Amino acid sequence: MSPHTTPTISVNAELGDRFDEILTPEALHFLARLHAQFAGRRQERLNDRMLRRKSIENGRDLRFLPETASVRENTEWRVAGAGPGLEDRRVEITGPTDRKMTINALNSGARAWLADLEDATSPTWSNVIGGQVNLFDAIRGQVDYTSDDGRQYRVETDQTPTIIMRPRGWHLVEKHLAFTDRAGHRRAASASLTDFGLYFFHNAQALIETGRGPYFYLPKLENHLEARLWDDVFTFSENAIGIPHGTIRATILIETIPAAFEMDEILYELRDHAAGLNAGRWDYIFSLIKNYRDRGRSFVLPDRDQITMTVPFMRAYTELLVQTCHKRGAYAIGGMSAFIPNRRDPEVTERALAKVADDKRREAGDGFDGTWVAHPGLIDTARAEFDAVLGDRPNQLERTRPEVEVTAAQLVDLSSLEPRVTDAGVRSNVSIALRYIESWLRGVGAAALDNLMEDAATAEISRSQLWQWIHQGIVTEQGTRITREHVGHLLHEVLREQDRSLSDRFDDAENIVRMVALEDDFPTFLTIPAYAHYLVDQPSARESKAQMAAA
């Protein structure tokens, strides 16, 4: 093949209903341009991640970078800040982009909707492109839905939340699209560039015309060079369609432990496009376990339900985040509350809502400008706590928190956290990992488990704790040594307890849990092998029932 081949994106899958409206020749050409410009740099950044993880594994501690001290010490620079429609972010609802969730989010009364193509979406081909169709319709006020039982769902308010789309992270690929570069090399497309590119190409101008704009949440960043890459993607894309520089706004999730040491630098690289930072607390815990899993028992965490936002290392991280944001004119957005109100058990709901209120009261009191909830039933509770602090103000950027002083050691200091591991905690991790992965394999990335709306971060914490407990030879408070054999036995027990059907994916889910929690190798994300080897589009619920009846 000629060394001067024109870069292309080709589709390696069947087109579903209305997919041709998203995968147009013009949109694919734009994706090809993005990949030609940035695919090589993406791979460089992923290589850097691998080297940093190896460095930490070998005993080198994370630190604030001496070479970027001037960025941190310069008190003059500020970020672009809130774009139109992002001025007040006191409560944001999160969720996947399936048709029904899209309508529920738009009707929710939240200030913003994190339309999630990442951890809350199982990236089947139908979910990825179907989600783009749903967002396309939502932006144009033409989204509705009819359920299998004939019920009609439609947007019933003019005061819809501002949409902030979260693309998949740099580490993921989209195997249904192939990029052929100038040298003729063919490889899977970047999931990040795919999600961003299709959404931006089709919707940027329409969003501007509604008085808002193309806004994004950026997941899983680990350093300021990854932020620089995103900033260059944004500038290239703005130029490509002829909109002003800085029209795009991004909120960056600080959900990896390396990123916590470079918050100033990340904002600086994205300063013309940055709106704020978010405390992505569950992925942050997973990142700490992943990076320090081989560093001895001093880095072993207790049962997941004991890791609250008030423990010292989490407290240090969130305090630093608020201070960094407000020093730079960026919004600080708090963490997720994932409880699902239970109509059948009002007492459970009352206790859970009290915990949600406590959590949001702490965030508002600490200076956060907004927060996340996963269910519409939590919005009033969260809003009340932020209303009590903010009043009529859209934010509290004036609270620069000069009293906060956080050292590098404090961000990874677990010394005051007693590593209490219990038999119940081990079993819970096995159960959550198995049941979430099974749901994910069926195409459901936001899974209702034990009165919580769980996404991939929960399964990552669960399986990474199991791996670490096994490799550190942890013994539970009840005297049980955590071994591969013990966890494997629990996995078999939990599997037997599930209600099985002909269309479930529990057998595949068990294989994945064994792969990502019980092997010597530690996959950096469980979704990488699961996506490559196990995830396929599933028949609709109606088709599944028909197949079961025929069987």
Q: What is the mean pLDDT of residues 506-520?
A: 98
Please enumerate in sequence order all residues whose Cβ is within 8 A of that of 39, keeping only pairs 6 or more positions apart, or say none. Answer: 179, 181, 190, 193
pLDDT for position 181: 94
State yes or no: pLDDT of 547 exceeds 80.
no
Residue 286, token pair as written in the block = 């997973």
Q: Under a CB-based contact definition with an 8 Å cutoff, are residues 509 and 438 in contact?
A: yes
State yes or no: pLDDT of 542 exceeds 50.
no
pLDDT for position 417: 85
Give, in order, the Cα–Cα distances in Å from 168 to each of 123, 173, 396, 441, 457. Answer: 9, 9, 30, 17, 13
* Nearest-angstrom CA–CA distance, 278 and 304: 21
Confidence band of 539 (pLDDT split at 50, 70, 90): low
Q: For the whole model, what pTM was predicted? A: 0.95
**Considering 45, 99, 166, 435, which one is annotated as catalytic?**
166
* Nearest-angstrom CA–CA distance, 421 and 405: 31
pLDDT for position 3: 57
State yes or no: pLDDT of 327 exceeds 50.
yes
**pLDDT tens sequence across 355-373:** 999 999 999 999 999 999 9
- Averaged confidence pLDDT in the chain: 95
Confidence band of 419 (pLDDT split at 50, 70, 90): confident
pLDDT for position 136: 98
Q: Does domain 31-409 have CATH number 3.40.50.300?
A: no
Residue 509 identity: A
pLDDT for position 549: 36
The DSSP result for 190-246, as a single string, is EHHHHHHHHHHHHHHHHHHHTT---EEEE-S--SHHHHHHHHHHHHHHHHHHT--TT
Q: How many CA atoms lie within 13 A of 207 on its CB side?
A: 27
CATH 1.20.1220.12-classified regions of the chain:
423-538
Confidence band of 409 (pLDDT split at 50, 70, 90): very high
| Portion of the chain with pLDDT greater than 70, in percent | 97
Q: Under a CB-based contact definition with an 8 Å cutoff, are residues 290 and 97 in contact?
A: no
For 90-152, the three-class secondary structure string (H helix, E strand, C coil) is CEEEEEECCHHHHHHHHCCCCCEEEEECCCCCCCCHHHHHHHHHHHHHHHCCCCEEECCCCCE
Q: Under a CB-based contact definition with an 8 Å cutoff, are residues 200 and 167 in contact?
A: no
pLDDT for position 415: 86
What angle in degrees, to the nearest 10, is found between the helix axes of 506-513 and 484-496? 170
> What counts of helices (H) and strands (E) characterise the chain?
20, 15
pLDDT for position 225: 98
Confidence band of 543 (pLDDT split at 50, 70, 90): very low
pLDDT for position 342: 84
State yes or no: pLDDT of 545 exceeds 90.
no
**Considering 283, 455, 463, 505, which one is annotated as catalytic?**
455
CATH 3.20.20.360-classified regions of the chain:
31-409
Give, in order, the Cα–Cα distances in Å from 25 to each of 8, 31, 79. Answer: 10, 10, 35
Is 455 assigned a catalytic role? yes
| Portion of the chain with pLDDT greater than 90, in percent | 93
* Nearest-angstrom CA–CA distance, 289 and 380: 34
**pLDDT tens sequence across 56-71:** 999 999 999 999 999 9
pLDDT for position 540: 46
pLDDT for position 416: 82
State yes or no: pLDDT of 314 exceeds 70.
yes
Q: What is the mean pLDDT of residues 283-302?
A: 95
* 9 beta partners: 179
**pLDDT tens sequence across 15-39:** 999 999 999 999 999 999 999 999 9
What radius of gyration, in Å, describes the C-alpha atoms of the chain? 23
Confidence band of 140 (pLDDT split at 50, 70, 90): very high
pLDDT for position 344: 84
pLDDT for position 5: 84
pLDDT for position 513: 98
**pLDDT tens sequence across 481-502:** 999 999 999 999 999 999 999 9
CATH code at 423-538? 1.20.1220.12
